[in-house]
Amino acid sequence: MSRKSRRSEGTQRLPESELRSQALEWQVILWSGEVSVEEQADFERWLATGPAQRQAWQRVQQVSQAFETVPEQLAGRVLRAPSADLGRRKLLLGLAAFGGAGLLGYGTTRTRAWRMATADYRTGTGERRTMTLPDGTALTLNTDTALDLFYTPSCRHLRLYRGEILVTTAMDPSPTPRPFSVGTYAGVVRPVGTRFSVRRLPGDGTGTRVQVFDGAVDLAPRWGTAMRLEAGQQADFQRRAVSVPAPVAATEAAWTQGRLVAEQQRLGDFIRNLDRYRPGRLRCDPAVADLVVSGVFPLDDTDAILQALAQALPVSVQSITDYWVTVTAS
């Protein structure tokens, strides 16, 4: 459920099941312990929309009382911890089971926030994680990433809900080789013995960017014509179309080594990318957005990156709080 939909749904009568799903989604977000200022404001607007929203919220709160013995900090860690342990899923599904099908229903488990909160693997903001999958495939998760893993006798599939991953596929040890694929809202990525990245793009969340570093991949939009990308190419695709392939630099995968590389990049674009690795909000004043940045920067210290920019460019870093920072003209 997008923020836009939360803000615009007040004048229409939603089904009771949808209202309950929204209320539970907000419960998941508020339990996380990492609520942004925008999310808090969105929640308050949603709650003030009308009595139906308030009643749905009260019902979810009544169910939630069963979990009052779970410490708040522990609940937050469980919901957003980057672990393959399914404790998050068990806790949330326990809430669903306690509430009963009449309260939460099947549709609730299909909401975007629910899927991300219960994902098999996830990382927090500024965090990276590397692992080896059961077939030997190497997988690296970038900042703020969530995905599910589906390995069955007939397929090897990753479902990417948010963020970015780098995949180095391995030969399937199964007696009957199973196809490997990565799915997003836009469609499916099918590698041909390769090393590639898949990223959910910001905005409305429907776009996907694929970069191929070795081998090749086939991009299959949900309702469009498939296209093959070769090593050294990248493309964005939506559900109906794939963009014209463009060159991709090997340095695009430097994030796996904890580095952010800029080569004659607009400051505005650089700051937009850096924002992915910091909690809160990092912005660039349009007055300095066209300045040019080059360099190799350590992702594990974004404050140091901002200090380096202030020393190298005619800019200053203005902080309202640690979570609201703007790069402006000096």
Q: Summarize pLDDT for 235-276 with one digit per residue, the tens.
A: 999 988 899 999 998 889 999 999 999 999 999 999 999 999
| CATH number of the domain encompassing residue 158 | 2.60.120.1440
Q: Residue 42 and residue 7: Cα distance in Å, rounded?
A: 7
The pLDDT, as a whole number, for residue 62 is: 64
Q: Domain holding 315: CATH number?
A: 3.55.50.30
With respect to residue 124, please indicate whether it lies within any of the assigned structural domains.
no
Higher pLDDT, 225 or 111: 225
Number of domains within the chain: 3
Q: What is the pLDDT of residue 191?
A: 94
Note whether 112 and 148 are same-domain residues. no
- The reply to whether 60 falls in a domain is yes
Q: Which of 180, 179, 148, 181 is nearest to 162 (CA)?
A: 148
Q: Which residue has the higher pLDDT, 288 or 2?
A: 288
Segments forming the whole domain that contains residue 51: 3-118
Would you say how long the chain is, in residues?
Answer: 330
Q: Are residues 102 and 148 in the same domain?
A: no
In the structure, what pLDDT confidence band is assigned to residue 115 with cuts at 50, 70 and 90?
A: low
Q: Are residues 141 and 237 in the same domain?
A: yes
| 327 close to 313: Cβ distance less than 8 angstroms | no
Residue 123 lies in a domain: no
Instruction: Collect all residues with Cβ–Cβ distance below 8 Å to 325 and sequence separation of at least 6.
Output: 278, 280, 281, 282, 283, 306, 317, 318, 319
Do 194 and 281 fall within a single domain? no
Which among 192, 219, 249 is the end of a domain?
249
Looking at 227, 249, 271, the residue that finishes a domain is 249
165: enclosing H helix or E strand: strand 164-168
- Residue 201 sits in the same domain as residue 233: yes
Q: Are 168 and 238 members of one domain? A: yes
Same domain, 174 and 104: no
Mean pLDDT (whole number) for 204-224? 90
Whole-number CA gyration radius for the chain: 21
Q: Say if 269 falls within a structural domain.
A: yes
Residues 143 and 174 in one domain: yes
Q: In the structure encoding, which two tokens stand for residue 165, read together? A: 């991953």
pTM: 0.68
Residues 213, 152, single domain; the answer is: yes
Instruction: State how far the Cα of 53 lies from the Cα of 46, in Å rounded to an integer.
Output: 7
Output 141-145 pairs: Cβ under 8 A, ≥24 positions apart.
Answer: 141/82, 141/165, 142/166, 142/199, 142/255, 142/256, 142/276, 143/255, 143/276, 143/277, 144/276, 145/121
Query: Are residues 225 and 267 located together in one domain of the fold?
Result: no
Residues 78 and 101 in one domain: yes
Co-location of 296 and 320 in the same domain:
yes
Mean pLDDT of 218-222: 92
Buried b (16+ CB within 10 A) or exposed e, 305-317: bbeebeeebebee
> Last residue of some domain: 118, 145, 161?
118
What pLDDT, on the 0 to 100 scale, is given for residue 244?
A: 95
For the chain, how far is it from start to end, CA to CA, in angstroms?
Answer: 40
Confidence grade of residue 100 (pLDDT, cut at 50, 70, 90): very low
The enclosing H or E element of 174 equals none
Could you report the per-residue pLDDT of 121-180, keeping only the tens digit for each? 999 999 999 999 999 999 999 999 999 999 988 889 999 999 999 999 999 988 888 999
